[in-house]
Amino acid sequence: MPTRALSTARTVTATALAATALGTAALGLHLATDQQAARAASVTGTTSSGAAPQPAPRERDDDGALAPSGFGLVQPPLSGGSGLSGGGHTSSHGS
Amino acid sequence: MTPPTATTPATPAGTRFEAIGTDIEVLVTEPDALAEATAVVREHLARLDLAVSRFRPDSEVSRLARAAEDEPAWALASPVFASALRAALRAARLTGGLVDPTVGRAVAASGYDADLDVVRSRPATHPGDPVPAPGWRSVTIDPVTDRVDVPQGCLLDLGATAKAHAADVLAERLSGRLPGGFLVNLGGDIAVAGEAPAEGWQVGVDDARGSTLQVVAVADGQGVATSSTRHRTWATADGGTRHHLLDPRTGRTATATWHQVTCVGATALEANAASTAAVVLGEQAPAWLEANGIPARLDAPGRVVTTRGWPDPPDGGSR
């Protein structure tokens, strides 16, 4: 019985951890959605209509994986060094 | 951004060469990986050229265009052609058709119907009348068989996106196969993967004369592309010049509101789609880029405009 109790406790702990992880993931999704909504609002000057945010429609990318239909979120680039001396540098000159 | 690691050398190694009609650069953080990385890039670009070049009669794009001269046509695409076409169609979707792979005949009619060196070496001519593009929605590719269907008269021009997509593919491939980090620069379309140098990959935004206007640092998850109306240009008989970027909505050369637009995207493909669309949009470009969350620098005569997320230019700029 102690073994079963321990097992049950582990199951509960694992479930709680999973729930926490799911909650975190859901929170992350909401944050991402909110960021996109805020970004759009800041440009268009509109406010939320109150409708529940919907995930962006997805499409099959060329590798067969599901890909978002809009531009992906991207980290802003950092300001580079004062010059291009040393290694690890290249140029984007247009084409 | 991938944090630098203690094992990353201070000075990455690199090589430059020409292929697919443009400058190629490969940088690696592990110098021992450079030879194999370069071989992988060269081999892939040879396949890409054979698949999508408008200027090779034996390319898949040229053969499909000949088959479509008098009636709709189809072909089974090679993996490289299929991947490049799907990337082009994705760019078209992302931009609402501002980047359109069906502008091939319009580009050719504007005078850009051969390698740029050939176009520039022959006597200037009057550009032909604008040719409307069939539209990217008229091109389909089967998700299982890779059968490509195009309408009558369609000449695909994947140049705007094929290089950028190839940079993404190659950076990921190298990172998965070899140790260290990689930067692949295909004519200004830049993809990175794996660990970055200690200060990130330093990317100079150059003007058409080769002067560096600004330097930004990028790492895994960021692609860079610049579209220019000053780089691929040729003279016309009326004393003017043309550039290679067309407005698919009109079939005419896009108004050169911007000398060049540099964008950072989640991939080089997305950066390229955004920078090309920005040139087509002209004055509307900054708002469109902002709405799509694209950090960008737009250069016009006498002014620099940046969007949210782009580092302040050293010589100022407006937002």
Question: Which CATH number belongs to the domain containing residue B202 in this structure?
Answer: 3.10.520.10
Q: Give domain status of residue B8, yes or no.
A: no
Residue that is written with structure tokens 């479509």 in the block = B68
Q: Give domain status of residue B74, yes or no.
A: yes
Residue that is written with structure tokens 């929605």 in the block = B137
Chain B residues inside the 8 Å CB shell of A33: none
Yes or no, beta carbons of B292 and A70 under 8 Å apart = yes
Q: Give domain status of residue B315, yes or no.
A: no
A-facing residues of B in 167-226 (CB < 8 A) are 183, 185, 187-190, 196-197, 199-208, 210, 212, 214-218, 221-222, 224-226
Q: Give domain status of residue B1, yes or no.
A: no
pLDDT tens across the length of chain B (319 residues): 444 334 444 578 999 999 998 999 999 999 999 999 999 999 999 999 999 999 999 999 999 999 999 999 999 999 999 999 999 999 999 999 999 999 988 887 777 777 777 777 777 777 777 788 899 999 999 999 999 999 999 999 998 899 999 999 999 999 999 999 999 999 999 999 999 998 899 999 988 888 899 999 999 999 999 999 887 776 777 777 776 788 888 888 878 899 999 999 999 999 999 999 999 999 999 999 999 999 999 999 989 999 999 999 887 666 6
Q: Give domain status of residue B313, yes or no.
A: no
Residues B93-126: b if buried by 16+ CB within 10 A, e if exposed? bbbebbbbbbbbbbbbbbbbbeebeebeeeebee
Q: Give domain status of residue B2, yes or no.
A: no
- The pLDDT value recorded for residue B246 is 80
Segment holding A66, helix H or strand E: strand A66-68
Q: Give domain status of residue B195, yes or no.
A: yes
Q: Is the pTM of this model over 0.90?
A: no
| Residue with more model confidence, B98 or A19 | B98
Domain that holds residue B33: 13-306
Q: Give domain status of residue B192, yes or no.
A: yes
E strand map for B12-142: 13-19, 22-28, 73-76, 140-141
The rounded distance, in Å, linking the Cα atoms of B286 and B292 is: 10
- Check if B92 contacts A (Cβ < 8 Å): no
A-facing residues of B in 285-304 (CB < 8 A) are 287, 290-295
Tokens of A38: 């805020």
Number of domains in chain B: 1
